[in-house]
């Protein structure tokens, strides 16, 4: 599919996940087959207030990631317009607006899924952003605020009218957060209501689930979030056909690619938690993983974390997960 003039070559891609889908992880997911990557949410207020963490850590991407979509989070045109101007100037190929985050600390300040409440006001915000953006502009929405306000179709039509290029639909309400199953029917309703490309998202565990979502809803692309945590190979159809030893080798290659990227990208204090988190997920489902995780999270440096992981990884049975 195309988002504006950017071609998305492949069905499935990594969903934005705060604290997880940062540049090193996005790059390994892309190398495994994610068709496009999107940054985690970048706070517009942090950008305009020159918060160094927002600007130089969260908004940073690697040149090999291009084309890249950068996602912004904010409550108003006053913060979002300068925010997207900054992101566009840094070379973003697509700007995505977060209209789905359900966390109370975000919605109570009018951000994330709170933008689905007052559709007219949000239309004005999107129009102001559209006027300054030369690159494709997308939004990521939920099915609505709660069960009595299921307005994804209304929001999608409004977005198409103000010139949005594509929409991602995660069909849970803000009130549901991540509970219950996402209702794929809502994705199909949005697909039917507008002519711009729709990406479906929610509870996709594999490429065959992604194809099932496409067949059931007519969406052109699929985002995978939680099922990609510790499993960037979920985007590679060939992975499932490998022998246990082949899988283990593939996983070792990815991990040995990912860890140096974390070391290069982050200062050790911030990067260590990233390394521990991802290594802990990579070990998921294997023997003695609990004891390994206790040891891993007690480490104090990149080197120590990698040594603990390497010892563990060499000791596991390649066929066990
Ligand atoms: C830890 C975590 C962080 C997330 N952060 C973001 C975010 O920054 N921006 C966003 O649009 N969605 C975010 N999401 C939502 C995901 O992009 C996705 O919509 C959701 O997880 C449903 O997809 P899944 O069932 O494949 O996980 C986050 C989800 C999780 C679990």
Q: Give the span between the Cα atoms of 69 and 92, in whole angstroms.
A: 6
pLDDT recorded at residue 319: 67
Task: Quote the pTM value.
Answer: 0.96
Q: Which of 101, 133, 152, 228 is catalytic?
A: 101
**pLDDT > 70? residue 321:** no
Of 151, 221, 222, 160, give the one whose Cα is nearest residue 195.
Answer: 160
Q: Give the span between the Cα atoms of 5 and 277, in whole angstroms.
A: 36
Lowest mean pLDDT among 176-190, 246-260, 285-299: 176-190
pLDDT recorded at residue 216: 97
Q: Give the span between the Cα atoms of 162 and 69, in whole angstroms.
A: 20
Q: Give the span between the Cα atoms of 155 and 277, in whole angstroms.
A: 36
pLDDT per residue as tens digits for the range 93-117: 999 999 999 999 999 999 999 999 9
Residues with CB under 6 A from ligand 1: 15-18, 20, 40-41, 71, 98, 100-101, 140, 170, 201-204, 224-227
Reported as type and span, the H/E element at residue 139 is strand 137-144
């Amino acid at each position: 599919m195309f988002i504006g003039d950017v071609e998305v070559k492949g069905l499935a891609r990594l969903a934005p996940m705060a604290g997880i889908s940062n540049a090193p992880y996005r790059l390994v997911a892309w190398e495994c087959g994610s068709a496009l990557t999107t940054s985690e949410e970048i706070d517009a207020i942090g950008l305009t207030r020159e918060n160094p963490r927002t600007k130089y850590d969260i908004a940073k991407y690697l040149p090999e990631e291009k084309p890249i979509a950068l996602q912004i989070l904010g409550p108003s045109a006053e913060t979002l317009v300068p925010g997207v101007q900054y992101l566009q100037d840094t070379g973003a190929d697509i700007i995505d607006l977060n209209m789905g985050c359900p966390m109370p600390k975000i919605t109570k300040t009018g951000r994330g899924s709170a933008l689905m409440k007052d559709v007219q006001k949000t239309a004005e915000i999107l129009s102001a952003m559209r006027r300054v953006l030369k690159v494709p502009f997308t939004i990521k929405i939920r099915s609505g605020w709660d069960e009595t306000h299921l307005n994804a179709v209304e929001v999608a039509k409004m977005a198409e009218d103000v010139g949005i290029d594509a929409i991602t639909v995660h069909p849970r309400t803000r009130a549901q957060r991540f509970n219950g199953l996402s209702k794929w029917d809502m994705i199909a309703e949005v697909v039917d209501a507008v002519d711009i490309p729709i990406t479906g998202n929610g509870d996709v565990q594999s490429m065959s689930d992604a194809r099932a979502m496409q067949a059931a809803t007519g969406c052109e692309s699929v985002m995978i979030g939680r099922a990609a945590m510790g499993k960037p190979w979920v985007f590679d159809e060939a992975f499932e056909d490998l022998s246990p030893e082949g899988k283990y080798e593939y996983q070792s290659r990815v991990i040995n690619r990912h860890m140096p990227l974390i070391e290069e990208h982050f200062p050790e204090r911030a990067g260590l938690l990233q390394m521990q988190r991802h290594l802990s997920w990579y070990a998921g489902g294997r023997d003695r993983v609990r004891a390994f995780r206790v040891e891993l999270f007690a480490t104090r440096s990149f080197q120590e974390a990698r040594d603990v992981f390497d010892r563990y990884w060499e000791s596991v049975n390649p066929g066990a997960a």
